[in-house]
Amino acid sequence: MSGTRSQSEFTGHPKQGRLERDLEAVQGINRDLLDAFPEVIVQCDAENRPTYLNPAWQKLLGYPVSESLGQPLTHFLVSADMERWTGFLDAGMPDRTI
């Protein structure tokens, strides 16, 4: 048996509920930090469509977050910046977090 365990091995484990609560707490703290960050933070999918935008997006750029999610990121660029940003997006991290 290898050192890794499948998800199903932990189902019903006595510590599962506590671990899930701890994970939710950490995720909440991370979200609070991202939401409070004064600069724009964007996470995109493979097609460069935002899947997460922090509130600075709307504050600094004026586009509502709810209406911007899922739209092509290039939709929000002025033509003068298009080439530079397209190259930046294409060079993004493997998980498309930029």
Radius of gyration of the chain (CA): 18
Domain boundaries, the chain: 38-98
Q: For 33-57, how does the pLDDT look when each residue is reduced to its tens digit (9 = 90+)?
A: 999 999 999 988 888 899 999 999 9
What are φ and ψ of residue 27, in 5° steps?
Answer: -60, -40
- Rounded CA-CA distance 44/57 in Å is 14
- Rounded CA-CA distance 54/38 in Å is 9
Place 7 in a pLDDT band, splitting at 50, 70 and 90: low
Q: What is the pTM of this model?
A: 0.64
Q: Which of 97, 40, 41, 49 is nearest to 73 (CA)?
A: 49
Considering the four listed CATH numbers 3.30.450.20, 3.40.50.920, 3.60.10.10, 3.30.365.10, the one that applies to the domain covering 38-98 is 3.30.450.20
Provide the token pair at 64: 């509502």
